[in-house]
Amino acid sequence: MQDELSEVIGAPIRVDAPLAEYTSFRIGGPARYLCIVRDAEKACRALTTARAKDLPCMLLGHGSNVLFPDGGYDGLVVSYQADRIEVHGGRIWAEGGAATMDLVTTAARHGLAGLSFAAGIPGTVGGAISGNAGAYGRAVGDLLVEAVLVSADGAKRRRATAAELDLAYRSSGLRKTGELVESVTLGLEQGDQTSEWTEIEEILAHRASRLPPPELPSAGSFFRNLPPPEPGAQRVPAGKLLDECGCRGLRVGDAAVYEGHANIVVNLGRATAREVLRLAEEMQRRVRERFGVQLRPEVRIVTRTR
């Protein structure tokens, strides 16, 4: 099967690839098959081939917001890494596999304003659209002009506007359809290059002061912030509730709540997905019993095991 998949897709296929190597959490068992594709055509062939062979298939970007199970994934994991970025006037076009941070810096180099809030957000452009990534009250989806999407079976392409993607807080309709974000076009405004770089540097410094160092792998904020208590108000940070429940420093095995931020779970070295989920359940329990609300994961939790 390995050679057959590789020949049809036109990309090398890894067998029993440790998914921990492909996620920022550094957690996850082996994928039955894994391939890295660097253009949309190969991605389409991977999806159609998996469908034809009745092989479960999952798309993966940089793995910055995902938790794979300890048992791995019983199917084909397709890592889409097409990463071209182009600027056309006030619009910036990018392939779905481009790093979100590369998009931010490209916009700044061309003096385009409106995207600096995304500085430091990990992952790919496709993942940012799929999860409507954002910070400081703004989201990438707010800037979306058009996305080119490939169906989950690789058979169809379509163009969609932001209004057609059911964009919401940290989610979109793409989570349900499983479509691949082949490319996106964002609409920005002409700004001052110096001001943009200054804002980017300030945001990166602020994030660095709150987030774990590289030697503590994580997937960023584990739970979504809560809806505003009233119209016009800001969302209630999940980290604030977790902090008030004494969650900092909680630990299950090698999975622990980061001492510097109560809504971030870190891998102390050999954490398993099971340990992370047990820890997350305890965090949810504490908030539920004290505040009467159920926290919802922001991290994508994969359940298909081998």
Say if residue 6's pLDDT is above 80.
Answer: yes
Q: Which domain holds residue 228?
A: 213-301
**Which residue is catalytic, options 24, 130, 221, 300?**
221
Q: What confidence tens digit (pLDDT) does each residue in 88-105 have?
A: 999 999 999 999 999 999
Give me the chain's average pLDDT, please: 95
155 in the same domain as 64 = no
Say if residue 305's pLDDT is above 80.
Answer: no
Q: Is 203 part of any domain?
A: no
Measured torsion, CA atoms of residues 64, 75, 276, 215, in degrees rounded to the nearest 10: -40
Instruction: Please tell me the predicted confidence (pLDDT) of residue 188.
Output: 97
How many domains does one find in the chain? 3
188 in the same domain as 98 = yes
Distance of alpha carbon 262 from alpha carbon 243, whole angstroms: 5
Question: What mean pLDDT is predicted for residues 55-61?
Answer: 93
- 170 is a catalytic site residue: yes
220 in the same domain as 296 = yes
104 in the same domain as 178 = yes
Q: Is 124 part of any domain?
A: yes
Say if residue 304's pLDDT is above 80.
Answer: no
Instruction: Please tell me the predicted confidence (pLDDT) of residue 1.
Output: 87
**Which residue is catalytic, options 172, 286, 298, 300?**
298
Q: How would residue 151 be classed by pLDDT, with cut points 50, 70 and 90? A: very high
Question: What mean pLDDT is predicted for residues 43-63?
Answer: 93
- 7 is a catalytic site residue: no
- Interacting residues of 252 by C-beta distance below 8 A, sequence separation 6+: 275, 276, 278, 279, 282
CATH code where residue 97 lies: 3.30.465.10
Q: What confidence tens digit (pLDDT) does each residue in 239-278 have?
A: 999 999 999 999 999 999 999 999 999 999 999 999 999 9
Instruction: Please tell me the predicted confidence (pLDDT) of residue 40.
Output: 92
149 in the same domain as 177 = yes
Say if residue 306's pLDDT is above 70.
Answer: no
Question: What mean pLDDT is predicted for residues 214-231?
Answer: 93
Q: What confidence tens digit (pLDDT) does each residue in 8-36 have?
A: 899 999 999 999 999 999 999 999 999 99
Instruction: Please tell me the predicted confidence (pLDDT) of residue 232.
Output: 78
Say if residue 231's pLDDT is above 90.
Answer: no
What percentage of the chain exceeds 70 in pLDDT?
Answer: 99
CATH code where residue 62 lies: 3.30.43.10
Q: How would residue 233 be classed by pLDDT, with cut points 50, 70 and 90? A: confident
Distance of alpha carbon 87 from alpha carbon 238, whole angstroms: 36
- 298 is a catalytic site residue: yes
Domain stops at, among 196, 221, 245? 196
CATH code where residue 228 lies: 3.90.78.10
**Which residue is catalytic, options 170, 179, 218, 300?**
170
Q: Is 218 part of any domain?
A: yes
